[in-house]
């Protein structure tokens, strides 16, 4: 795609975005929140310089539905989705576009971690009801943006010349958006930026955050460990050992989680269901294979990839423990998928996760993580991994790079020498 075509695509999207916000009061609703929290970012989107996250567009369309009616917003949402897919693809294929996606994903992962901390803090505060609502909204938006950025990153990585890139996520139904900013009563805003993801002390009144569903990725077929934790078929634990039976407490917790999800999905409360998945991602790793089986048995297989994406952003120790648990339960494909999802995190965190896998006796998973990292990151980034612990990381890193290709092996070896490591 030429620079001229990119400009036309992003420019047309920006014109449409200006038409969407034209009927909106710039001091009210989500549009007022975005303008107040990040006026420069909002202006960059309206000028066609930046592409807003999809959750921002959902919120603006919800504002539009409140002002002009559901039918008008529904018509606008179709055109919005079409132009957004084209503009996002053009934006991502620019020189340096993939690197920018990686950096933004790293930023959103940090924002989500911060929001999770604020959720826990608000839960322990008797007067923290409002803070809890907004912290959950921050966490939900950051989680949605992580999913979106990963899909865009996968598309541009799989198709560096721009061919065959998948479109940006399609919008949820206008009815769902309308039923949600209509059901939300007015509420004072505690703190927390909606658009930029930064703290702010302004306490101005705005509408309470709506529950905005995130379209889940395609479901994967059930495979791997049986419900009780025993291996299926030839699946085995490290060095051929069979995995241990499931812990009863972990099994009860997994069943409780899935029961809650079934109820929330049946009631159409997608935002709350996503929050349950986010919380489940932070539980002991032993529950993860049990959750996978229980979700598929309950007909919620589409929630499993979303849960894996949440797990992929855990701190290095938790991330490695989750990979270890999946491998130990015989879910090797899921383990590999999780490892590939985690390679956007900083090199130091990848190094810590690789070391944790090595200490757990998961040499194959350690190599898979390093190989996935080498495939999508620069040789200089790979050298940053080795710098963490050259004695234990140089050899497996080089082996992983050479397993990808001879060229990758040579590039990483050269980067190590330049960094004074190899």
How would you write 192-259 as a 3-class SS string? CCCCCCCCCCCCCEEECCCCCCCCCCCCCCCCCCCCCCCCCCCCCCHHHCCCCCCCHHHHHHHHHHHH
Q: Quick one: tokens of 218? A: 């395609």
Of residues 18, 75, 24, the one with CA closest to residue 52: 18
CA–CA separation, 1 and 163 (whole Å)? 9
What's the average model confidence in pLDDT over 351-375?
86
What's the average model confidence in pLDDT over 126-143?
78
User: How sure is the predictor about 247, in pLDDT bands with cuts at 50, 70 and 90?
Assistant: low
How would you write 399-421 as a 3-class SS string? HHHHHHCHHHHHHHHHHHHHCCC
If DSSP codes are grouped into helix, strand and coil, which group holds residue 186? strand
Q: What is the pLDDT of residue 209?
A: 33
User: pLDDT for 253-265, tens place per residue?
Assistant: 888 888 888 888 8
Parse the chain into domains and list their residue ranges: 3-185, 220-328, 345-422
User: pLDDT for 270-317, tens place per residue?
Assistant: 888 888 898 898 888 889 999 998 888 877 888 898 898 888 888 888
Share of the chain residues as helix, strand and coil, in percent rounded to the nearest 5: 65, 0, 30
Q: What is the mean pLDDT of the chain?
A: 74
| Among 47-56, 191-200, 362-371, the least confident range | 191-200
User: pLDDT for 311-344, tens place per residue?
Assistant: 888 888 888 888 888 988 888 889 888 888 877 7
CA–CA separation, 343 and 350 (whole Å)? 7
Q: What is the CB neighbour count within 10 angstroms for residue 44?
A: 15
Q: What is the pLDDT of residue 234?
A: 30
Of residues 286, 282, 284, 277, the one with CA closest to residue 329: 286
What's the average model confidence in pLDDT over 109-133?
80
What's the average model confidence in pLDDT over 370-387?
87
Determine contact, residues 203/131, Cβ cutoff 8 Å: no
Q: What is the pLDDT of residue 395?
A: 92
Q: What is the pLDDT of residue 397?
A: 92
Q: Quick one: tokens of 115? A: 């929001």
Alpha-carbon torsion, ordered 173, 213, 149, 140, to 10 deg: 150
């Amino acid at each position: 795609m030429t620079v001229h075509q990119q400009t036309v695509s992003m420019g047309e999207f920006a014109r449409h975005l200006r038409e969407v916000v034209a009927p909106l009061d710039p001091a009210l609703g989500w549009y007022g929140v975005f303008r107040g929290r990040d006026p420069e970012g909002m202006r960059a989107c309206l000028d066609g310089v930046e592409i807003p996250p999809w959750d921002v567009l959902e919120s603006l369309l919800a504002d539009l539905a409140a002002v002009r009616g559901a039918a008008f917003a529904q018509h606008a949402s179709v055109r919005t989705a079409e132009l957004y897919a084209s503009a996002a693809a053009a934006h991502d294929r620019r020189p340096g576009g993939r690197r920018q996606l990686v950096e933004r994903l790293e930023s959103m992962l940090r924002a989500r971690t911060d929001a999770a901390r604020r959720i826990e803090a608000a839960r322990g505060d008797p007067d923290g009801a409002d803070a809890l609502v907004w912290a959950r909204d921050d966490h939900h938006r950051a989680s949605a943006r992580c999913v979106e950025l990963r899909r865009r990153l996968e598309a541009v990585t799989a198709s560096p010349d721009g061919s065959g890139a998948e479109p940006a996520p399609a919008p949820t139904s206008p009815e769902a958006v309308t039923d949600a900013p209509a059901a939300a009563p007015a509420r004072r805003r505690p703190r927390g930026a909606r658009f930029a993801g930064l703290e702010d002390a302004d306490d101005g009144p705005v509408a309470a955050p709506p529950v905005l569903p995130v379209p889940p990725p395609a479901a994967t077929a059930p495979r791997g460990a049986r419900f009780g934790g025993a291996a299926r078929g030839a699946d085995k634990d490290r060095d051929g050992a069979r995995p241990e039976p499931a812990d009863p407490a972990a099994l009860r917790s997994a069943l409780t989680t899935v029961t809650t999800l079934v109820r929330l999905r049946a009631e159409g409360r997608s935002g709350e269901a996503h929050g349950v998945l986010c919380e489940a991602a932070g539980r002991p790793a032993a529950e993860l294979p049990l959750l996978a089986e229980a979700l598929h048995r309950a007909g919620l297989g589409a929630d499993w990839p979303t849960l894996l994406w949440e797990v992929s952003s855990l701190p290095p120790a938790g991330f490695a423990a989750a990979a270890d648990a999946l491998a130990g339960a015989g879910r090797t494909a899921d383990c590999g998928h999780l490892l590939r999802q985690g390679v956007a995190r900083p090199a130091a965190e990848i190094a810590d996760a690789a070391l944790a896998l090595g200490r757990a006796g998961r040499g194959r998973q350690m190599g898979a993580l390093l190989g996935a990292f080498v495939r999508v990151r620069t040789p200089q980034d790979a050298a940053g991994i080795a710098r963490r612990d050259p004695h234990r990381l140089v050899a497996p890193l080089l082996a992983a790079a050479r397993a990808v290709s001879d060229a990758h092996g040579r590039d990483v070896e050269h980067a190590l020498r330049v960094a004074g490591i190899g």
